[in-house]
Structure 1
Amino acid sequence: MIDFESEGFPTSIGPANGFQFLSTTWREILWAALTVGRPSISFIFQHGLASLFEALYRISQMRMALTQETFSQHLYRTNAFRQLDPTEKGAVSYALGMTFCKLFAHKLLNTHWLLHLDVFKDQLNPELLTGKSRPDLVGQNDAGDWHAFESKGRSSSPNDDAKKKAKQQAQRLVRVDGQDCRLHIGAISFFRGETLEFYWRDPEPIKEEPLEVRLPEDAWKHYYLPALAFSQTEGLDEPNGTDEIGISVEIAPHIYELLVQGEWSKAKELADRSRQELTEQGYFPDGIKLAVGENWAKGHGTFK
């Protein structure tokens, strides 16, 4: 369970404004960590072992940083996370921010697909990529609408200045394939005391020159590649020490067939068309099924 606050969302879309809580599972958190659409290290190496280690790195950050106490449904920071040096802590906080932005978008906005804006770096003026006035992510919901997200992670509760900065970076109008993003959200994952919480706001976009991007043919490769590498690796659940990972990843056969052929966009389109079938069979809407073993419950309270 994650306490969160929403501000500025229109009544026609998104969560009710105010303080609420979100029920979730380790399975959902790890899926979000594995698939949140930043260009992974592995895209440099295309496929193979590097992709697998990128997938494991994303998942390991969650287990290293987060835990639960017995009889509690909340998530807390671990001693290991608390003792990191500031630079390391900043990197893990960034990963937490990206992961929980993806999780909340999936659960409350029906936005299951997120891509980092750097996926479009070849199309954008370098000044727009390095400037402060741009969001991190764009995401597409079930209806085909695009949303823009500025994602931040912090080790402490955000003050008004931090919330203002997240709002300002989310306000830059982004246009994907000629379609204006409908929501422009600033999101912050943070710890209040030792407990993980979440804040997001949908400010009005600034009507200046928009960031115009076109979806490249291989855009969804950056989304699927870590999960694909994980699903192609055998032996992670064998009793040789690797069972400590306690996670298995499966991709729906008809989606997997397209992915191994490099048909990234077709795989995404097929997942969209077969969303109901996929979810009925235990997959997430992107066609990925992630199973979490007993080791994830041990030492993590009652959170499943």
Structure 2
Amino acid sequence: MKQLLEELIRADIGKVLENEPLKKHTTMKVGGPADVFVEPKSIEGLMKTMEIIKKHHADWRVIGRGSNLLVLDEGIAGVVIKLGNGISHLTIQDEEITVGGGYSLVSLSTLISRKGLSGLEFASGIPGSVGGAVYMNAGAHGSDISNVLKKAHILFADGTLEWLSNEEMEFSYRSSILQKKRPGICLEAVFQLKKGDRDSIVSTMQKNKEYRRETQPWNHPCAGSIFRNPLPHYAGQLIEKAGLKGYKIGGAKISEMHGNFIVNEDNATASDVLALIDFVKKTIYEQFQIKMETEVEIVGRNK
């Protein structure tokens, strides 16, 4: 790992750190260190990073802005690549936009709405990156990424680059082909939007933001929705019905504002959060015979 680290530093591909605590890079503020942490300063820097990783046969994974992510206390072996400001370009051409995977989804939806382009109003309160949103088909308010994505530029584990169409992304509920079938990194996305009334678009976006602010505990460190909705049921409603709002294990607590959120109330560890997740799963199954599946991605050593 030392040789890999030194080669990455020499390559001048961006920020390179050793044993970087990942709680600094997740919205829940938990998680152990990455053996090597890289934040490329460009797409070229990312591709060079992948070349070096492949040469050393090292394990790797990508994070965006750290939402929808629970990193275990033991940290992540190998290289963690963060798509950040170095990969956050934006081009607007009529109703079509091309945007880098590191661009903030909230910032993008705000900017686009002010230009009178409709389609991303649902994303106004989703605290993640464009690449992460494509990866998991992020959605809210009755819409999701699959409704607006035209194509995505993907860097696959073998170093190959490919544009995948909406159909080739194989989107489903909070899922895409990138999660298991063809692991890869969304470098950039092309969204097909529609021109509309600017005031109406901005108003809808603001209402979505306010709804999230009033119903979800973003004033505390959290990872977003913990469980997938076991349709036709809703995870938050089941958890509330089971009387679990406010339940605590260690420093982790089920939000009293929304049952499908776990907040880091008091220096929680990932182990606290995992124990709380398992407790919810067991309780909901005992009371309603419904199996709960996590929406938050759990990563780290031993996973």
Larger Rg: 2
Structure 1 and Structure 2 fold alike (TM over 0.5): no
Larger helix percent = 1
Normalized against structure 1, the TM-score is what? Answer: 0.26
